Amino acid sequence: MALVSRAPMKPPKPPSPAHRHLHARPDAGPPMRRPAPAGGLRVGQRLVVTPTRYDEDGFAIAQGQRAAMAIWQGIAGEAAEVEVRHVGQHRIRSRFVGAAAPSPDRREPPCPRYEACGSCALMHLKPAAQRAVRLAALTEALSGLGVELPLLEALREGPDGEADYRHFVKLAVGRSDMGKIRVGAYRRGSHDLVAIPECVVATPVLRRAMISVAHHIIDLDLHPYDPESRSGILRHVMLRQSRADGRVLCTFVAGRNHRMLKELAARVMGSATGISGVWVHFNDQPGNGILQWGPEGEGPGFTLLEGVPLIAELVAGERLLIGPGDFFQINPAVGELLVRDVSAAFADLRAYPVVDLYCGVGAFTLPLARAHGYAFGVEVLPGAVLHATESAQQGHVGAEFFVGEATAQLAAVAKRLEGRPPVVVVDPPKKGLEEGVFDQLLALNPARVAYVSCEPQSLARDLRRFLAAGWTVRQLTAYDLFPETAHLETLAVLDPPTRPEAPATSLRRRVVRKPAG
C-alpha cells in the first residue's frame, strides 16, 4: 500500500498518570506494552492510498506490508486521500476524504445518513459500477472450479430499482450521546445509534412506519433494555411490509414485559402508517442477538399484542403467509424472479417430486408443489413451518413440511419418498450446507439440484464438493437482490453424473399434516 503522509508523523504521547491504570496489568504489575501500530500509522492521520479490491462488506482494500487498510467510500483503482479512523495489528480502518482525479464510477450518495449509518457500503458508486463489484466478487470466488459456463454480464434485476426496495427493516433502541432515547440503525463500526427516518432503500410505507414507531417509543419514554442491570424495556423493532397489499407487521423485541408495551402497540396501530399487527418477543440475554431461542433449541416465541397475526405475499401465483420472525426475502420483486427461474430450471422434470431444504415459509415449496404434484419442505423455525403448512392448506397444494435441522429431518423425507428420486432446492444460510447434509442429499438420488446462495465463498466450497462427486453445473445466474451493498444472490443449477429414471408412480397425496419433529 503506497502511503503518502500529509504531515510529518509525531511520536504518540505517553499516557498521563491519570490514564496509566488503563494499561496496567490486572495484578498491578508493570504496564503492558501495546503492539506497535501497523505501519506506524495513527488515528486522524491523512494519507493518499490506491486500493486494489473490495472486501465482502464493500470496503475498498489497500494492502500494506503489515496490515490491510479498509477504506469506507473508497473505490478500487482510485488514488484518494483518506483519514485513518482505527489502527489494529492486522487491519486499519479509514474513510475517504477526497480525490484529485475522482473515479468516473463515483457519485454523491443519495442517502443523507450514508456516512453515519454504513449499511449501504456501495452507495457512493454508480449502479452499474456496484453491479460490477458484486459480480467480480462472485467470479473470484468461483474461479478455479473449472466451471466453463460464463456468468451473466448483468445481474437479474427487479422492477423496484435501487431505492425503495427493502420490505423489511430492523431498528435498535438505545440512547444518544446526550442520554436521550434514540431509535435507529447502528453507526458504522460501533453500537452508537443513528436515526434513519429518510432511509432511501426502505419502502415509503416502511419509512412512515419507522418514524411513527420511533416517535411513540420516545413519547412514552420506553427506555432501552440493559441486560446487565435488567433495567429498561425495549431492545429492537422489526417491520415487514407485504408487497402484495402494503400491510405491515411490527414486532417489538423487549427485555422484559411491561404494561406500556400494550399502549405502544395501540398507538402504532392507530397511527395510519399501514401497520396491521403488532407482536412482542422477549429476549433478556446479553449479547447482540435479536431473537432468543428456547433452551431446547425450539424457535423463538412471540405474543400478539394488537391486530392481525400474519401478513401475506404473492409469489409465482401462490399466497404465502408470513409471521413474526419468519425468513422471507427483503426484496420480494427479485425474490419472485428467483422462484420463477428455479421452477423453469425444473420444467423438463415435472414427473419428479420436490424436496426443498431450508424452505422458510414455502416460497419455493408451494409453486414447485403445484407444478410437480408434490413437495416436501424442511425448515428449522417452527413458526415458518406452521405458516407454510397453513398456506398449503389454504391453496390446496400437495406439500408436507418437516420442522428441524436438515440433517435430522432428511431421513424422514427419504422415508416419505419411498425410493422415488426427487429434484432438490437448497437455500441455506450464509455458512452453506451443514456437515452431513451433502451426503444425505446425494443419498436421495436427485435428478437435479438448484442451489440458491447468498454467500459466494460458501457456494464455491459446496460446488466443489458437487463437482468432485461428478456433478456438472448446468446454469449460473446472479440476482441483484441487495442494491447499494456488496451482497448478491446466486442460483446454481446442477445435474448428476447419471440422471435417475422418473418415478413410475406419483406420491400419494396426503392431507397436509402438522410438521414432524
Active centre residues (catalytic): 454
Distance in angstroms (rounded) separating the CA atoms of residues 155 and 139: 13
Maximum Cα–Cα distance for the chain, whole Å?
A: 84
Q: Got the DSSP string for 28-92?
A: S-SPPPPPPPGGG--TT-EEEE---EE-TTS-EEEE-SS-EEEEET--TT--EEEEEEEE-SSEE
- In sequence order, the 6+-apart residues with CB closer than 8 A to the CB of 71 are 49, 51, 59, 60, 61, 62, 80, 82, 94, 95, 96
Helix (H, G, I), strand (E, B) or coil at 441: helix
Q: Are 512 and 399 in contact (CB under 8 A)?
A: yes
Amino acid type, 371: A
Distance in angstroms (rounded) separating the CA atoms of residues 517 and 511: 18
Alpha-helix residue ranges (DSSP H) falling in 359-444: 365-372, 382-395, 406-417, 437-443
Helix (H, G, I), strand (E, B) or coil at 354: strand
Distance in angstroms (rounded) separating the CA atoms of residues 5 and 25: 34
Q: Is 272 exposed, middle or buried (0-12, 13-18, 19+ CB in 10 A)?
A: exposed
Q: Are 490 and 151 in contact (CB under 8 A)?
A: no
Q: Got the DSSP string for 118-134?
A: -S-TTTTB-HHHHHHHH
Q: H or E stretch including 289?
A: none
Q: Are 72 and 80 in contact (CB under 8 A)?
A: no
